[in-house]
Structure 1
């Protein structure tokens, strides 16, 4: 019997790496997505997995700091409806930064996608500010922002101006900046020097995002509008309808669309 003295062999290093990453993460017990667990992490690069009710829903990577990246997801989820941080957990691996060139998160996504997992990697969950071009795009069913729109009842409890004396006024520009900084979702607006000269009395210390936006809108010049889109807020000097708008805040009052 004669034996062949040659054959084809394909070395799949990337698949081997993906298998090893998935196996290493599988050995870890998911921890609740809570700040004490996030702050216990070392500020190193790596990959991570998010779980909702025990199901793997998202794989991501942090090029510099795992806790910094995971905290962004914590904040995002904390400001959304139809979802709770109590449902969420995570695992992560510190990965040598030289490993970044092989896109470790992509290896994990490919590993899990065939099993019907990581749906949030394909529904817009990882997006930051999508840019002005997306403002007029209708958000489809199944998109993360459609299923979990921003929570306008989110409580703003850390604004510096909440330490002011009752009845004391501050510039509208300051209130806008404070609100933008402390909201757990994007608030994109066009700055204007005239806001420096508009005084506004801030609501009480237990104010919600909705109440703060009403306060801001009431002091806006004519033709300015704040629009609550499914995933973020925008404010521009133009009264305009948006296909996916949930609510409009104007100097004349609030208009609910959904």
Structure 2
């Protein structure tokens, strides 16, 4: 009987690291995704996991500060429809070693994707401003923005509240800046000096994004248009159609195009 005295062996250091990270995260109890919970974290780099209704939906990393990165997701989800922050939870690990070469979140993604988890990875959830080139791209079913479009009824609590006590109007440029700062999704627009000379009557009815956008659009010069896309807002001096537009705001009124 002949016995082999040699064989092939493949050492996978990256798989071992991925398994260790996943096992360490598995030992943690997901915490509700709240501002208090996020801000209790130390401002250190690391990896994190997001859960929706107890299902693992996203894996990410923070190169500098876990709370800063996770709070961005909190803000994004707060401005979306078909989802509630009450459904969300998170876990995280502080990783202070130099794992840049092996990308710890990628190790976790590869492991969990093989198990049919982390559906929000690679479907647009982690994107910030996608850039002007994406404005004319049709958003497909399954994309995060398609499943959870921006909430135009998002409450803009306190928008210009102090000004309403002492002023009757504000420049259009000011209203645009303050709306952009408060909205939990991207509002990209082309600035124009003429906005400084256009006044908007203040009203305490600017309680929602939709109401504020209507007030802005009513004072826009001809041909300017605000477009509500599934994941963000844009405003340019050209009234054109966009494949995935949900709503157009123009000085002639509002047009709904996506049911």
Instruction: Indicate if the aligned counterparts of 2:164 and 2:204 stay in contact, CA closer than 8 A.
Output: no
Aligned counterpart, 2:163: 164
Q: What's the offset of the Cα at 1:101?
A: 2.4
Under a length normalisation based on structure 1, what TM-score does the superposition of the two structures give?
A: 0.96
1:237-252, aligned counterparts within 5 Å?
Answer: 237-252=237-252
Q: How many residues align?
A: 257
Instruction: Indicate if the aligned counterparts of 1:158 and 1:182 stay in contact, CA closer than 8 A.
Output: no
1:1-258, aligned counterparts within 5 Å?
Answer: 4-159=4-159, 161-166=160-165, 168-204=168-204, 207-258=207-258
Q: What's the offset of the Cα at 1:165?
A: 3.0
In structure 2, the residue corresponding to 1:117 is in which secondary structure?
A: coil
In structure 2, the residue corresponding to 1:119 is in which secondary structure?
A: coil
Under a length normalisation based on structure 2, what TM-score does the superposition of the two structures give?
A: 0.96
Residue deviations 1:215-242 (CA, integer Å, cap 9, x gap): 1001100000000000000000001011
Q: Distance in 2 between matches of 1:255 and 1:16?
A: 54
Is 15-24 or 2-11 further displaced after alignment? 2-11
Please tell me the root mean square deviation across aligned C-alpha atoms, in Å: 1.3
Q: Distance in 1 between matches of 2:246 and 2:48?
A: 32
Q: What's the offset of the Cα at 1:181?
A: 1.0
Q: Distance in 2 between matches of 1:252 and 1:41?
A: 48
Q: Distance in 2 between matches of 1:147 and 1:10?
A: 41
Instruction: Indicate if the aligned counterparts of 1:162 and 1:202 stay in contact, CA closer than 8 A.
Output: no
Residue deviations 1:155-186 (CA, integer Å, cap 9, x gap): 11143x22113562111111101111110000
Q: Distance in 1 between matches of 2:251 and 2:150?
A: 22
Q: What's the offset of the Cα at 1:98?
A: 1.0
Q: What's the offset of the Cα at 1:199?
A: 1.0
Q: Distance in 2 between matches of 1:60 and 1:230?
A: 23
